[in-house]
């Protein structure tokens, strides 16, 4: 017998030193966050693009280069700026030596996004192919790398091209498994750069991105005039710009930026902005409104320029700086002082807007009080319903009931229809990170209803409690909320009703990229030696060609028909998820009105076209099985 104790020697040989590229490749999460396959907007491949563009933005901010050209192919990215260009003698060092760059010189890059000289090195190390070319003073220098290893180091030679830097890279497919770029995510990234950098033009795959009015353009493009309670308030000062309005939607919606960088997780500047809004409005009206009533239905954006900003990670998604500069005012004081003067003055000068704002606050206060009693009863019902045993098969990662942000980005909740589907997923899931919520029947169509329905309807109330979003997204328990319904007409209807629920009452879940559709195979094609699962008609045809015309074809009409053993392959490391993305020119109101409003000819055509697709698949499958 053995004691079970693991014996190991801790000697000099146990101490390992990794070079820069080995460390990045071994611990990529330290440099680019989570890896992912591109289905989430914060997946690593988008961080790679951002890290390179950030360098070009810094050149623009310092007054060099008004245009950036970006081309993204299936698996290749090309970025060309027209700044000063990397000093030719340091081209190789700047992309392959850690702690090497021009941003340590605060005079050259006073309000830069990147300060640690890491970004381009991370892209280099995590790319199967990486090329850097600098154009400077009629001369040029080219270097090429593979996974951080220098493969080509050309001599400096003459060039007639404009000054600037060209970067070409192909993310390493051994690290980014089955990755793909989603154009809408890239477009959102580029629009954010355009909004925050006046005078900048970004050319992306033949389309031009340019903003003349900064955050005003941002909120204009993210809202619908018909839904706004008053025109967007746009205020600018030294090192700060804000935009603010109120709509009719539920929840709060904010966009925050530092030195042209979109901080998706906010930080000290966003906290100060939200606090200053409440304080300024209370002081203006001379009333101690509840903070939730002031901020309910708000849409706001804040951008600050900070000297030597401190971020909470290399991906720069959350600002940690307490001060505007090492010896400058605190973030809270700076933003509060600005709004106290600028917003207060604006409201005095625009009495109609001040009146509309007051009406919105009073309406929010009334709505909150109206549902207070219902909310209390609903919470008691949720406790009595024994949610975590009857409706929710939770994951083990929630034993300590921490917020999703404290655990990383792996947790996910599958929302299923019926016992058979939820049973298959429950048996085949990863119990550490995957939870299952089982629906009973079709959800209520809640289009146009008030938030009372969330507490009056048992299914919605229990789902809200399972997600822990009653008081906002700060307590969200799952990074990914995955709608897993059958690929038939009924399944599509349930999917639409769930999306209506989220968009109507919790639109930020969609806007922040938390809602996904689970893609499951429509067909199984197999012979005695091999089984191929097909997610489309095209994949089915290819599988039949590969396995032969005598292959057995099975059409999965419902998730419950897929055995737990098979299901494990569809929700494991090769899971296919389709993110729900709101396009820049589509508002929540427009979307819900089209799909859930009056039955217009456009919607009738959409439904008929999609029903025909479903009908064709069934008929083709039946024909194939008949002739087999």
The backbone region for 210, taken as left when phi is positive above 0, alpha when psi lies in -120 to 50, beta otherwise, is beta
279 and 193 in one domain? no
**Does residue 113 belong to any structural domain of this protein?**
yes
377 and 336 in one domain? no
Q: Which residues of the chain have pLDDT under 50?
A: 1-4, 6-7, 103-109, 115-116, 399, 402-408, 612-628
pLDDT of residue 572: 86
**Does residue 436 belong to any structural domain of this protein?**
yes
Of 337, 364, 391, the residue that ends a domain is 364
The β-bridge partners of 311 are: 319
**Does residue 116 belong to any structural domain of this protein?**
yes
**Does residue 44 belong to any structural domain of this protein?**
yes
Contact by Cβ (8 Å): 188, 167: no
**Does residue 603 belong to any structural domain of this protein?**
no
299 and 396 in one domain? no
Q: Which helix (H) or strand (E) holds 535?
A: none
Which CATH number is 276's domain given? 3.30.230.10
pLDDT of residue 31: 85
Distance, in Å, from the CA atom of 299 to the CA atom of 353, rounded to the nearest integer, reads 15
Instruction: Extract the tokens encoding 28.
Output: 């990529």
**Does residue 605 belong to any structural domain of this protein?**
no
Contact by Cβ (8 Å): 77, 48: yes
Of 316, 338, 364, the residue that ends a domain is 364
**Does residue 534 belong to any structural domain of this protein?**
no
196 and 221 in one domain? no
Of 334, 364, 394, the residue that ends a domain is 364
389 and 329 in one domain? no
Contact by Cβ (8 Å): 267, 331: no
The β-bridge partners of 532 are: 525
User: Sign of the CA dihedral 403, 404, 408, 414?
Assistant: positive
CA atoms within 13 A on the CB side of 428: 22
Domain boundaries, position 90: 20-210
pTM of the entire predicted model: 0.81
452 and 379 in one domain? yes
First-last CA distance in the chain: 59
270 and 205 in one domain? no
3-state class (DSSP) for residue 589: helix
pLDDT tens, residue by residue, 195-225: 988 889 999 998 999 999 999 999 998 888 8
Report the domain count for the chain: 3
567 and 448 in one domain? yes
Q: Are strands 201-204 and 207-210 parallel, antiparallel or unpaired?
A: antiparallel
152 and 220 in one domain? no
pLDDT of residue 198: 81
Which CATH number is 159's domain given? 3.30.565.10
Contact by Cβ (8 Å): 451, 367: yes
389 and 295 in one domain? no
407 and 277 in one domain? no
Which CATH number is 398's domain given? 3.40.50.670
**Does residue 535 belong to any structural domain of this protein?**
no
pLDDT of residue 613: 46
172 and 28 in one domain? yes
């Amino acid at each position: 017998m053995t004691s079970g104790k693991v014996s190991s020697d801790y000697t000099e040989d146990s101490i390992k030193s990794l070079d820069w590229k080995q460390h990045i490749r071994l611990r990529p999460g330290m440099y680019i966050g989570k890896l992912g396959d591109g289905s989430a907007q914060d997946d690593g491949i988008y961080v790679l693009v951002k890290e390179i563009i950030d360098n070009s933005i810094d050149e623009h901010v310092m007054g060099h280069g008004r245009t950036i050209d970006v081309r993204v192919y299936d698996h290749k990215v090309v970025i060309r700026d027209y700044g000063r260009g990397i000093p030719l003698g340091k081209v190789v060092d700047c992309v392959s030596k850690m702690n090497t760059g021009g941003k340590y010189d605060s005079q050259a890059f006073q309000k830069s996004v990147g300060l640690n000289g890491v970004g381009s090195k991370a892209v280099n190390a995590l790319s199967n192919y990486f090329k850097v070319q600098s154009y400077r003073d009629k001369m040029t220098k080219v270097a090429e790398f593979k996974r951080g290893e220098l493969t080509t180091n050309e001599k400096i030679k003459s060039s007639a091209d404009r000054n600037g830097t060209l970067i070409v890279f192909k993310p390493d497919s051994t690290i980014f498994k089955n990755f793909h770029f989603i154009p809408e995510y890239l477009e959102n990234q580029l629009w954010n750069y355009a909004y925050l950098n006046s005078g900048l033009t970004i050319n992306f795959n033949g389309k031009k991105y340019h903003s003349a009015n900064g955050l005003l353009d941002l909120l204009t493009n993210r809202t619908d005039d018909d839904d706004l309670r008053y025109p967007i308030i746009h205020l600018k000062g030294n090192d700060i710009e804000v935009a603010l309005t109120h709509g009719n939607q539920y929840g709060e919606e904010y966009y925050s930026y530092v030195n042209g960088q979109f901080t998706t997780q906010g930080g000290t500047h966003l906290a100060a902005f939200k606090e200053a809004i409440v304080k300024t409005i209370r002081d203006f009206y001379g009333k101690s409104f509840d903070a939730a009533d002031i901020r309910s239905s708000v849409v706001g954006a804040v951008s600050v320029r900070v000297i030597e900003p401190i971020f909470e990670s290399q991906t720069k998604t959350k600002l940690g700086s307490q001060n505007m500069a090492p010896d400058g005012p605190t973030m809270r004081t700076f933003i509060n002082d600005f709004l106290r003067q600028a917003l207060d003055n604006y409201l005095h000068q625009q009495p109609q807007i001040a009146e509309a704002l007051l009406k919105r606050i009073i309406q929010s206060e009334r709505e909150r009080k109206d549902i207070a009693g219902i909310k209390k009863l609903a919470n008691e019902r949720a406790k009595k319903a024994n949610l975590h045993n009857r409706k929710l098969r939770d994951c083990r990662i929630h034993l300590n009931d921490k917020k999703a942000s404290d655990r990383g980005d792996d947790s996910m909740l599958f929302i299923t229809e019926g016992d058979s589907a939820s049973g298959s997923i429950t048996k085949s899931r990863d119990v550490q990170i995957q939870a299952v919520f089982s629906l009973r029947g079709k959800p209520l169509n809640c289009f146009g209803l008030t938030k009372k329905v969330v507490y009056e309807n048992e299914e919605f109330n229990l789902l809200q409690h399972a997600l822990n979003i009653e008081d906002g997204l700060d307590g969200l328990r799952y990074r990914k909320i995955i709608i897993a319904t059958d690929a038939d007409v009924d399944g599509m209807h349930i999917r639409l009703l769930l999306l209506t629920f989220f968009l109507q009452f919790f639109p930020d879940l969609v806007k922040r990229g938390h809602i996904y559709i689970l893609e499951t195979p429509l067909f199984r094609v197999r012979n005695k030696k091999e089984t191929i699962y097909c997610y489309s008609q095209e994949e089915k045809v290819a599988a039949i060609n590969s396995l032969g015309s005598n292959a057995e074809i099975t059409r999965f009409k419902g998730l419950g028909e897929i055995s737990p053993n098979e299901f494990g392959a569809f929700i494991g490391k090769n899971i296919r998820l389709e993110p729900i993305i709101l396009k820049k020119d589509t508002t929540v109101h427009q979307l819900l009105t089209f799909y859930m409003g009056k039955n217009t000819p456009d919607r009738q055509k959409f439904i008929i076209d999609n029903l025909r697709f479903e009908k064709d698949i069934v008929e083709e499958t039946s024909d194939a099985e008949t002739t087999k």
